[in-house]
Amino acid sequence: MYPEHHIIKNGHIDRCQICNSNKLNLILDLGQQPLCDTLLTKEMLDQQEAKYPLRMVWCEECSLAQIDYCVDGSLVYHPDYPYRTGITKELVEYQNSISKSLVAKYNLKQGDFVVDLGSNDGTLLTGFKEHGMKVLGVEPTNIARIANQNGVETVQKFFTVKTANEIKNKHGKASLILATNMFAHMSTIGEVISGIEILLKDDGVFVFENHYLLDVIQGGQFDTTYHEHLRTYSLKSLVKLFSYYNFTITDVERGSRYGGNIRVHITKGKNRNISENVTAMLNLEDKSGLHKLETYRKFADRVKKAKKDFMSFILKINKDGKTIVANSCPGRCVTLLNYYGVNASLIPYIAEQPTSLKLGMFLPGKHIPVVNNEILVKEQPDYVILLAWHYAEPIMEQLKARGLKSNFIIPLPDLKIVKN
């Protein structure tokens, strides 16, 4: 039904997750790292914390960037997984724009069936529901309960061939299947694509979004590398992936979410009409050197320089007696702070939104407490590090509007200090 290597076994990976080549080149070694969304309670701080190798490798055959160690998915996406889409205003607005765009592009009608994989709290599906579509979320964590409470029907399961058949038998086939920021996450890639093929109508479309490799490399975004992100796709690697299945990549769009993302449209069936966007992006990758090892060597050098510049600055202002704290606790900040070696002696806390599920918890690895961001305006620290640096502009605007007078530190892609 699917190639054996499209089920990735737990532990060390020595072949490409897409094409099975052994031509993997080590790009970054970020050391032993904890799972980024397994935050700790106070009671857990004295217990031994599980850490796993975190290394980025690149396949010279299909141009897939990937990590070379797979952690069991039930540990990564544990029931109390703390990420929620619906608490970030910009993300809610963005996901509403996705539904409007896809309804128009595919001329979706009232009653058409739309399924979202890794649907989180149902935010994306809400937009389709408002257009009169029948919707269903598939979400393995307890966030599914929030979606159901909000009126978005959601099954709390991992998506497999069995799940696809169950949904098809109960609800019929889907016109559209979605996956935003999850298609690079699962180790059961063959199961998921086969399940999508079962659940889609013959003319149905699968649309997903993820970080885009060209943006990651050009933007020095090493912090998108963590155990959830098994793969960072180039379009070339995706063309190779779907060549194993009864699908055609028919369109592609490049966006600015997550520091740079790719939205891929895959239509069921072979030999479909292909947008010129696909050819243009493949040409751009080639022209940008995305298929050359030297490009990744330069990326690795930039990452090392970013670490050196950041730590030199932080240690200097700390020595000068200035107060430094951090704002926002996205998964990617765990990679950054653990790789840099920043702990609570340098940054006493990370401030988060009052609605965040991470409040009262401690950062994996470095045990920095996560607190309500109302403390920032009250304490007025000298510097605030923006760990969700890819949303730096709106975050700075919001914090300044609330009366924050601190200077901002933007750690990536290159260290930047914004005076307030």
pLDDT of residue 99: 92
DSSP 196-229: HHHHEEEEEEEEEEEEBHHHHHHTT-GGG-STT-
Q: What is the pLDDT of residue 80?
A: 65
197, 189 contact by CB (below 8 A): no
Q: Dihedral of the CA atoms 213, 225, 305, 315 (nearest 10)?
A: 150
**pLDDT value at position 143?**
87
Confidence (pLDDT) at 85: 58
Q: Estimate the crossing angle of helix 161-171 against helix 189-199, to 10 degrees.
A: 20
| Per-residue model confidence (pLDDT) at position 29 | 98
pTM of the model: 0.92
Q: What is the DSSP letter of 152?
A: -
29: Cα separation from own chain's centroid: 19
pLDDT at 410: 97
Question: What span, in angstroms and rounded, lies between the C-alpha atoms of 220 and 395?
Answer: 21
The pLDDT of residue 124 is: 92
- CATH topology for 313-418 is Rossmann fold (3.40.50)
Averages of pLDDT over each 10 residues, the chain, 420 residues? 94 98 98 93 93 98 98 78 60 82 95 95 92 95 90 94 98 97 93 98 96 96 96 98 98 87 96 97 98 98 97 96 96 97 97 91 97 96 96 94 97 94
- Spatial contact of 268 and 197, defined as CB atoms under 8 Å apart: yes
Beta strands (DSSP E) in 256-382 are: 261-268, 324-327, 350-352, 370-372
